[in-house]
Amino acid sequence: MNSSLDAEDLFPRGTVIPGDHFKGTAWLGMLITDLVFNCPIGNVTFEPGARNSWHKHPGGQILLVTSGSGFYQERGKPARRLSRGDVVKILPNVEHWHGAGLDSSFSHIAITTNPQRGDAVRMEPLRDEEYRGAIG
Amino acid sequence: MNSSLDAEDLFPRGTVIPGDHFKGTAWLGMLITDLVFNCPIGNVTFEPGARNSWHKHPGGQILLVTSGSGFYQERGKPARRLSRGDVVKILPNVEHWHGAGLDSSFSHIAITTNPQRGDAVRMEPLRDEEYRGAIG
């Protein structure tokens, strides 16, 4: 549960994310929290099968994929498969989820843009059948 | 000179940076330019010996080091040696330079924070003796 840095981790893995917004085990290592930057940045690592619930960001979010493979899906669209080097642009208030597939862990940098517009809005969990259908 | 993606590159290398703000060869691949995010993000790659001139950012900048090794120095302070996984917080209007050492290339993500405060302010080049003294 403590901060750790595996050989394969590019940025510190941080600690397990508590609560019920994630299904499965995911880790968050905050890299930037200083208010002066107006740009919170975290390193998120999903174990295989882990993902978050449907949610949206009032100011948007950017994901920079650093290792493993995973998925990003916007409501009503096919899931996009992601691997290292991929960039995901999540526009403000677009409902989405992201997470690992079943056979790989998945790590991305998450940048909260326009943070003054407010925190992420959490919605319902991604159902198991939605997840399985999305990842194919 | 065209966009390329070497096996060792995490994000696209982009194109060689023109002009005289850099000494040696450095590459810039812009990852985010969309105005909606208020968060320009670029991938910068320095060949060995390459570095930029003294400069400062009115709104600050964040560097996330992805490969190789290099240096970051603020005016009047010792240079800090950087390698993968390092995070550099550059406060607004702090004069600094960054770049590779002589024996390794160096890549970092560069995030411009508070971009509404204006573009980077370029100052004088880092003299060769300053560079050699800084990297030790």
A32 CB neighbours in chain B (<8 A) are: 62, 87, 89
Name the closest residue on chain B to residue A37, using Cα atoms: B113
Strand partners, A52: A22
Name the closest residue on chain B to residue A36, using Cα atoms: B91
B94 CB neighbours in chain A (<8 A) are: none
Give the up-direction half-sphere exposure of residue A45: CA atoms within 13 A in the CB hemisphere: 20
For the segment B5-33, what is each residue's pLDDT rounded down to a tens digit? 555 789 999 999 998 999 999 999 999 99
CB contact under 8 Å between A111 and B39, yes or no, is yes
Name the closest residue on chain B to residue A113, using Cα atoms: B37
**Cβ-contact A3, A15 below 8 angstroms:** yes
Per-residue pLDDT of chain B (136 residues; tens, 9 = 90+): 334 455 578 999 999 999 899 999 999 999 999 999 999 999 999 999 999 999 999 999 999 999 999 999 999 999 999 999 999 999 999 999 999 999 999 999 999 999 999 999 999 999 999 999 999 9
- Chain B interface residues facing chain A, Cβ-Cβ under 8 Å? 5, 9-12, 31-32, 34, 36-39, 41, 60, 62, 64, 66, 84-85, 87, 89, 91-92, 109, 111, 113-114
**Cβ-contact B114, B91 below 8 angstroms:** no
d(CA B90, CA A36): 10
For the segment A78-123, what is each residue's pLDDT rounded down to a tens digit? 999 999 999 999 999 999 999 999 999 999 999 999 999 999 999 9
Task: Give how far B128 is from chain A: nearest CA, Å.
Answer: 32
What pTM does this model have? 0.94
Can you tell me which residue has the tokens 């198991």?
A128
Single-letter code of the amino acid located at A93: N
Q: Which of B30, B62, B112 to mutate to test the interface with A (most CBs of A within 10 A)?
A: B62
